[in-house]
Amino acid sequence: MSVKNNVPTPHIEAGPGEIAGTILLPGDPLRAKFIAGEYLSDVHQFNSVRNMLGFTGTYEGKRISVMGTGMGCPSIGIYSYELIHFYGVKNLIRVGTAGSISPEVKVRDLVFGMGACTTSNFPALMDLPGVFAPVCSFDLLRRGVDKAEQLGLRYAVGNILTSDMFYGPAEGPEATQKWASMGVLAIEMEAAALYTNAAFGGANALTVLTVSDHLLTGETTSSEERRSSFTDMMKVALSLA
Protein backbone atom coordinates (compact mmCIF):
# COMPACT_ATOMS: atom_id res chain seq x y z
CA MET A 1 0.00 0.00 0.00
CA SER A 2 1.39 3.37 -1.04
CA VAL A 3 0.45 6.30 1.20
CA LYS A 4 -0.39 9.59 -0.47
CA ASN A 5 1.22 12.65 1.07
CA ASN A 6 -1.39 15.29 0.25
CA VAL A 7 -2.85 15.79 3.71
CA PRO A 8 -4.95 17.28 5.21
CA THR A 9 -7.77 15.79 3.15
CA PRO A 10 -11.15 17.38 2.42
CA HIS A 11 -12.64 15.51 5.40
CA ILE A 12 -9.78 15.07 7.89
CA GLU A 13 -7.66 18.04 8.96
CA ALA A 14 -4.86 16.02 10.61
CA GLY A 15 -1.32 16.57 9.45
CA PRO A 16 1.25 13.84 8.78
CA GLY A 17 1.86 11.60 11.82
CA GLU A 18 -1.11 12.84 13.85
CA ILE A 19 -3.11 9.62 13.44
CA ALA A 20 -1.91 6.33 14.93
CA GLY A 21 -1.56 3.08 13.02
CA THR A 22 -4.60 1.66 14.85
CA ILE A 23 -7.88 3.55 15.03
CA LEU A 24 -11.27 2.91 16.62
CA LEU A 25 -14.20 4.01 14.47
CA PRO A 26 -17.53 4.60 16.25
CA GLY A 27 -20.31 6.02 14.11
CA ASP A 28 -21.18 8.67 16.69
CA PRO A 29 -18.48 11.38 17.06
CA LEU A 30 -19.60 11.89 20.67
CA ARG A 31 -18.76 8.25 21.31
CA ALA A 32 -15.28 8.99 19.94
CA LYS A 33 -15.01 11.90 22.38
CA PHE A 34 -16.17 9.65 25.23
CA ILE A 35 -13.60 6.96 24.41
CA ALA A 36 -10.79 9.52 24.21
CA GLY A 37 -11.76 11.16 27.51
CA GLU A 38 -12.42 7.95 29.39
CA TYR A 39 -9.58 5.70 28.23
CA LEU A 40 -6.76 7.64 26.53
CA SER A 41 -4.00 9.72 28.07
CA ASP A 42 -2.00 12.55 26.46
CA VAL A 43 -4.94 13.15 24.15
CA HIS A 44 -4.65 15.35 21.07
CA GLN A 45 -7.66 16.26 18.93
CA PHE A 46 -6.76 15.93 15.24
CA ASN A 47 -10.12 16.49 13.58
CA SER A 48 -13.24 18.61 13.89
CA VAL A 49 -14.22 18.95 10.22
CA ARG A 50 -18.02 18.51 9.94
CA ASN A 51 -17.92 17.85 13.70
CA MET A 52 -16.56 14.36 12.98
CA LEU A 53 -14.34 14.42 16.05
CA GLY A 54 -11.01 12.57 16.01
CA PHE A 55 -8.43 12.09 18.77
CA THR A 56 -5.03 10.45 19.27
CA GLY A 57 -3.63 9.38 22.64
CA THR A 58 -2.10 6.45 24.44
CA TYR A 59 -3.73 3.39 25.98
CA GLU A 60 -1.65 1.16 28.24
CA GLY A 61 1.48 2.66 26.71
CA LYS A 62 0.39 2.17 23.09
CA ARG A 63 -0.49 4.96 20.70
CA ILE A 64 -4.05 4.74 19.34
CA SER A 65 -6.60 6.99 17.63
CA VAL A 66 -10.38 7.20 17.63
CA MET A 67 -12.68 9.06 15.24
CA GLY A 68 -16.37 9.15 14.35
CA THR A 69 -17.48 7.99 10.91
CA GLY A 70 -21.14 8.95 10.67
CA MET A 71 -23.86 6.58 9.48
CA GLY A 72 -23.92 4.35 6.44
CA CYS A 73 -21.52 2.94 3.87
CA PRO A 74 -20.84 6.18 1.94
CA SER A 75 -19.77 7.99 5.12
CA ILE A 76 -17.47 5.32 6.55
CA GLY A 77 -16.30 4.65 3.01
CA ILE A 78 -14.88 8.17 2.71
CA TYR A 79 -13.23 8.22 6.13
CA SER A 80 -11.76 4.72 5.98
CA TYR A 81 -10.38 5.32 2.47
CA GLU A 82 -8.64 8.51 3.55
CA LEU A 83 -7.32 6.93 6.75
CA ILE A 84 -5.83 4.01 4.83
CA HIS A 85 -4.54 5.73 1.70
CA PHE A 86 -3.60 9.19 3.01
CA TYR A 87 -2.63 8.51 6.62
CA GLY A 88 -1.30 4.95 6.43
CA VAL A 89 -3.62 3.50 9.09
CA LYS A 90 -3.23 -0.28 9.18
CA ASN A 91 -5.82 -1.43 11.74
CA LEU A 92 -9.36 -0.05 11.60
CA ILE A 93 -11.80 -1.28 14.25
CA ARG A 94 -15.43 -0.28 14.05
CA VAL A 95 -17.12 -0.06 17.45
CA GLY A 96 -20.84 0.38 16.97
CA THR A 97 -24.33 -0.77 17.76
CA ALA A 98 -26.54 -3.31 16.05
CA GLY A 99 -29.98 -4.82 16.14
CA SER A 100 -30.01 -8.54 16.89
CA ILE A 101 -32.06 -10.87 14.71
CA SER A 102 -30.94 -14.03 16.51
CA PRO A 103 -32.76 -15.53 19.53
CA GLU A 104 -29.36 -16.46 20.99
CA VAL A 105 -27.89 -12.94 20.77
CA LYS A 106 -29.27 -10.72 23.54
CA VAL A 107 -29.34 -6.96 24.10
CA ARG A 108 -25.91 -5.77 25.37
CA ASP A 109 -24.12 -8.86 23.98
CA LEU A 110 -21.08 -8.30 21.79
CA VAL A 111 -21.10 -9.39 18.16
CA PHE A 112 -17.90 -9.81 16.17
CA GLY A 113 -18.63 -9.41 12.47
CA MET A 114 -16.68 -12.20 10.79
CA GLY A 115 -18.37 -11.42 7.48
CA ALA A 116 -20.69 -8.67 6.31
CA CYS A 117 -23.62 -9.43 4.03
CA THR A 118 -25.05 -6.24 2.60
CA THR A 119 -27.94 -4.56 0.82
CA SER A 120 -25.51 -1.80 -0.19
CA ASN A 121 -24.03 -1.50 -3.68
CA PHE A 122 -20.69 -0.43 -2.17
CA PRO A 123 -18.75 -3.69 -2.77
CA ALA A 124 -20.13 -3.96 -6.32
CA LEU A 125 -18.64 -0.55 -7.14
CA MET A 126 -15.12 -2.08 -6.91
CA ASP A 127 -15.72 -3.37 -10.47
CA LEU A 128 -14.68 -6.94 -9.75
CA PRO A 129 -15.57 -9.81 -12.11
CA GLY A 130 -17.92 -11.39 -9.56
CA VAL A 131 -19.47 -10.84 -6.12
CA PHE A 132 -17.05 -9.72 -3.39
CA ALA A 133 -17.59 -11.15 0.12
CA PRO A 134 -16.46 -8.56 2.72
CA VAL A 135 -14.73 -10.25 5.68
CA CYS A 136 -12.73 -9.08 8.66
CA SER A 137 -9.07 -9.56 9.57
CA PHE A 138 -8.64 -12.97 11.17
CA ASP A 139 -5.78 -11.72 13.35
CA LEU A 140 -7.87 -8.89 14.80
CA LEU A 141 -10.84 -11.23 15.20
CA ARG A 142 -8.82 -13.87 17.05
CA ARG A 143 -7.27 -11.34 19.42
CA GLY A 144 -10.60 -9.61 20.01
CA VAL A 145 -12.35 -12.84 20.87
CA ASP A 146 -9.48 -13.82 23.18
CA LYS A 147 -9.92 -10.52 25.03
CA ALA A 148 -13.67 -11.01 25.34
CA GLU A 149 -12.98 -14.46 26.81
CA GLN A 150 -10.53 -12.99 29.31
CA LEU A 151 -13.09 -10.39 30.40
CA GLY A 152 -15.83 -13.00 30.72
CA LEU A 153 -18.13 -11.23 28.26
CA ARG A 154 -21.11 -12.63 26.39
CA TYR A 155 -20.34 -12.55 22.68
CA ALA A 156 -21.17 -14.12 19.33
CA VAL A 157 -19.07 -14.44 16.18
CA GLY A 158 -20.53 -14.72 12.71
CA ASN A 159 -22.19 -13.04 9.77
CA ILE A 160 -23.79 -9.63 10.14
CA LEU A 161 -25.87 -7.58 7.70
CA THR A 162 -24.81 -4.11 6.60
CA SER A 163 -28.05 -2.45 5.52
CA ASP A 164 -28.53 0.76 3.57
CA MET A 165 -31.90 1.28 5.23
CA PHE A 166 -32.73 2.01 8.86
CA TYR A 167 -36.43 2.40 8.06
CA GLY A 168 -38.17 0.65 5.20
CA PRO A 169 -38.91 -2.72 3.60
CA ALA A 170 -35.31 -3.93 3.88
CA GLU A 171 -35.78 -3.77 7.66
CA GLY A 172 -39.26 -5.29 7.72
CA PRO A 173 -40.16 -8.55 9.48
CA GLU A 174 -40.20 -10.63 6.28
CA ALA A 175 -36.78 -9.45 5.13
CA THR A 176 -35.36 -9.81 8.65
CA GLN A 177 -36.58 -13.39 8.89
CA LYS A 178 -34.96 -14.28 5.58
CA TRP A 179 -31.57 -13.01 6.76
CA ALA A 180 -32.01 -14.72 10.14
CA SER A 181 -32.77 -18.02 8.41
CA MET A 182 -29.32 -17.80 6.79
CA GLY A 183 -27.63 -17.48 10.18
CA VAL A 184 -27.10 -13.71 10.13
CA LEU A 185 -26.77 -12.49 13.73
CA ALA A 186 -27.42 -8.75 13.64
CA ILE A 187 -27.99 -5.72 11.43
CA GLU A 188 -25.84 -2.57 11.26
CA MET A 189 -24.92 -0.06 8.54
CA GLU A 190 -21.14 0.23 7.97
CA ALA A 191 -19.08 -2.98 8.17
CA ALA A 192 -19.31 -4.06 4.51
CA ALA A 193 -17.84 -0.77 3.30
CA LEU A 194 -15.10 -0.85 5.93
CA TYR A 195 -14.11 -4.43 5.07
CA THR A 196 -14.16 -3.68 1.34
CA ASN A 197 -11.93 -0.62 1.70
CA ALA A 198 -9.55 -2.49 3.98
CA ALA A 199 -9.21 -5.30 1.44
CA PHE A 200 -8.63 -2.82 -1.39
CA GLY A 201 -6.06 -0.87 0.63
CA GLY A 202 -4.19 -3.79 2.18
CA ALA A 203 -5.27 -2.88 5.72
CA ASN A 204 -6.86 -4.86 8.56
CA ALA A 205 -10.43 -4.28 9.74
CA LEU A 206 -12.77 -5.63 12.37
CA THR A 207 -16.28 -4.73 13.50
CA VAL A 208 -17.14 -5.15 17.18
CA LEU A 209 -20.78 -4.39 17.94
CA THR A 210 -22.92 -4.06 21.02
CA VAL A 211 -26.51 -5.16 20.57
CA SER A 212 -28.56 -2.03 21.32
CA ASP A 213 -31.95 -3.44 20.39
CA HIS A 214 -33.55 -6.73 19.48
CA LEU A 215 -35.68 -6.85 16.35
CA LEU A 216 -37.41 -10.06 17.46
CA THR A 217 -38.36 -9.09 21.02
CA GLY A 218 -38.62 -5.30 20.73
CA GLU A 219 -36.19 -4.69 23.61
CA THR A 220 -34.15 -1.50 23.16
CA THR A 221 -31.74 0.94 24.85
CA SER A 222 -31.52 4.74 25.01
CA SER A 223 -29.25 6.91 22.85
CA GLU A 224 -27.37 8.05 25.97
CA GLU A 225 -26.73 4.45 27.03
CA ARG A 226 -25.48 3.64 23.55
CA ARG A 227 -23.08 6.57 23.61
CA SER A 228 -21.57 6.24 27.07
CA SER A 229 -22.18 2.86 28.67
CA PHE A 230 -21.41 0.28 25.99
CA THR A 231 -17.89 0.06 27.35
CA ASP A 232 -17.18 -3.67 26.94
CA MET A 233 -16.66 -3.37 23.18
CA MET A 234 -14.47 -0.33 23.77
CA LYS A 235 -12.16 -2.26 26.10
CA VAL A 236 -11.94 -5.14 23.62
CA ALA A 237 -11.15 -2.82 20.72
CA LEU A 238 -8.59 -0.77 22.66
CA SER A 239 -6.71 -3.96 23.52
CA LEU A 240 -5.99 -4.47 19.80
CA ALA A 241 -3.63 -1.49 19.53
| Residues 6+ away with beta carbon under 8 Å from 138 | none
213 as an active site residue: the answer is: yes
> Under a CB-based contact definition with an 8 Å cutoff, are residues 79 and 72 in contact?
no
Residue of 28, 109, 127, 213 marked catalytic: 213
Long-range contacts of 30-35 (CB under 8 A, 24+ apart): 30/68, 30/227, 31/68, 31/95, 31/226, 31/227, 31/228, 32/66, 32/67, 32/68, 34/227, 34/228, 35/66, 35/95, 35/234, 35/238
Burial class (CB in 10 A: 0-12, 13-18, 19+), 27: buried
Alpha helices, DSSP H only, in the chain?
29-39, 73-85, 138-151, 173-181, 191-201, 223-228, 231-238
Q: Which residue, among 43, 52, 64, 67, has the nearest Cα to 11 in the 3D structure?
A: 52
Amino acid identity of residue 36, one-letter, is: A
Query: Dihedral sign, CA of 22, 2, 139, 155?
Result: positive
Residue 37: how many CB atoms within 10 A of its CB? 11
Give residues with Cβ within 8 angstroms of 199, minimum separation 6.
132, 134
Any idea which residues carry the catalytic annotation?
A: 213
